[in-house]
Amino acid sequence: MAVKRFLLLASLALLAAFLLTGCSARPGAGETAAAAADAALALDLPALTIDIDADGVPSIAGAPLSSFASLAPGLADFRLGSDLVTQLMEANIQHIQIATVPDGLRILVNGAALPSLRWDEERLANLSDLVDLLGPAVPSVVKAALPLISDVGVGVTLRFPLAQGADVIPLQAEGAATAPAAREAVLAQIGKAPVIRIPVVYDMEGNYTVQGITDAEWQALTGAPFGQLKLDAELVKNAVAAGVRTATVRTDAEGIHIALNDKELPVLGWGEGELLNLVKLAADAGMLQGAGMDADALVGLLEALLPVIEVSDVSIHVTFPAQ
């Protein structure tokens, strides 16, 4: 027994040492340790760096992930298709970083932050309540991990092969914090932030009304396909059975807010220019070519519109029928 325990500990120590040789700086490194200074549990680790070759085979520090099959079977089975890797190379996507920090989850592509989840203690508690509400539909490991997530700072960096002639993009791209200034400029120009509030009431059949006007009447009045906003009756039934009375989706300068039964859940944040980064990434990847206009012109148009979208106070409040 003692020999087996020693071999296991030695194997884990060797694995940890080997993995650390394949690590890189993690976005937000040090924040978790600082925030969890008095916590019994605290993890603040570098990002695990996984290199993907042209065939989609992953490796750490030059060793294939399959080498860790006995100690980390989940990692050992990870692999990407070669077609996907080719698409990423053609789009000049060189690396993707995913990292947890005390107040959320950060996602960066080519060093630029994209819209990602942000939370605080109250929102995490509300999310935990929602998980309890959903019951067996949510894996037990998720329920166990939620209370600890703010005290765990971990991450993974996926690096892809460079396309021929491409310049290397650093993991930590330097971007100017222009989003707040752009929002201030828009507010100075238009005076007040646009406000849109839409109350939607559903019945058990999935039909809805807005201020007493049915979906069919809205469609007849506007010609827009409002009928597509009907919900499946089974979905409404399940929501009511789960105790969901209201659902609210709201946007502001911070991002997209979602609340169930007036309890705020984690926010999809975009307050630091993440939306513009997403648009530029799509343009660089050629995803805007089929939009019917010059991609550069479209990016310029979206760049002008995004601050207006970000400052707008838009909310859709959905009410479900009583049980």
Alpha-carbon gap, residue 280 to 27, rounded angstroms: 21
Q: What's the confidence (pLDDT) of residue 150?
A: 86
pLDDT of 176 above 60:
no
Question: 310: Cβ–Cβ under 8 A, 6 or more apart, which residues?
Answer: 179, 183, 251, 252, 253, 270, 271, 275
Query: Are 91 and 30 contained in the same domain?
Result: yes
The residue that leads in pLDDT, 231 or 143, is 231
Q: Mean of the per-residue pLDDT values for the chain?
A: 83
Domain around 29:
2-159
Q: What's the confidence (pLDDT) of residue 118?
A: 94
174, part of any domain: no
CB atoms near residue 225 (< 10 Å): 10
Query: Are 200 and 266 contained in the same domain?
Result: yes
134, part of any domain: yes
Q: What's the confidence (pLDDT) of residue 52?
A: 92
Q: Report the pLDDT averaged over residues 190-205.
A: 91
pTM of the complete model beyond 0.95: no
Q: What's the confidence (pLDDT) of residue 116?
A: 93
50, part of any domain: yes
Alpha-carbon gap, residue 45 to 20, rounded angstroms: 9
Query: Are 195 and 143 contained in the same domain?
Result: no
Structure-block tokens of residue 203: 């019945």
pLDDT in tens, 98-125: 999 999 999 999 988 999 999 999 999 9
Query: Are 154 and 8 contained in the same domain?
Result: yes
Query: Are 121 and 215 contained in the same domain?
Result: no
216, part of any domain: yes
Q: Of 124, 159, 194, which residue constitutes the final position of a domain?
A: 159
Domain count, the chain: 2
| Least confident interval from 5-9, 261-265, 277-281 | 5-9
Q: Where are the alpha helices (DSSP H) in 191-243?
A: 215-222, 233-241
Q: Of 131, 159, 187, which residue constitutes the final position of a domain?
A: 159
Query: Are 152 and 17 contained in the same domain?
Result: yes
113, part of any domain: yes
Query: Are 246 and 216 contained in the same domain?
Result: yes
Query: Are 90 and 153 contained in the same domain?
Result: yes
pLDDT of 305 above 70:
yes
Query: Are 308 and 204 contained in the same domain?
Result: yes
Interior CA angle at 42 toward 41 and 48, to 5°?
130
Alpha-carbon gap, residue 120 to 233, rounded angstroms: 34
Query: Are 60 and 144 contained in the same domain?
Result: yes
Q: Report the pLDDT averaged over residues 281-287.
A: 80
Share of the chain above pLDDT 70, in %: 85
Query: Are 74 and 199 contained in the same domain?
Result: no
Q: Report the pLDDT averaged over residues 232-257.
A: 91
Structure-block tokens of residue 13: 């120590």
Q: What's the confidence (pLDDT) of residue 283?
A: 83
pLDDT of 22 above 70:
no
The residue that leads in pLDDT, 54 or 179, is 54
| Least confident interval from 10-24, 243-257, 308-322 | 10-24
Per-residue pLDDT band for 175 (boundaries 50, 70, 90) equals low
Alpha-carbon gap, residue 119 to 177, rounded angstroms: 21
211, part of any domain: yes
pLDDT of 20 above 80:
no
Please report, to the nearest 10 degrees, the dihedral formed by the alpha carbons of residues 124, 129, 135, 140 taken in order: 40
Query: Are 122 and 73 contained in the same domain?
Result: yes
pLDDT of 16 above 70:
no
Per-residue pLDDT band for 291 (boundaries 50, 70, 90) equals low
Amino acid (1-letter code) at residue 25: A
Q: Report the pLDDT averaged over residues 218-235.
A: 85
Q: What's the confidence (pLDDT) of residue 19?
A: 53
38, part of any domain: yes
304, part of any domain: yes
Per-residue pLDDT band for 290 (boundaries 50, 70, 90) equals low
CB atoms near residue 266 (< 10 Å): 20
The residue that leads in pLDDT, 190 or 256, is 256
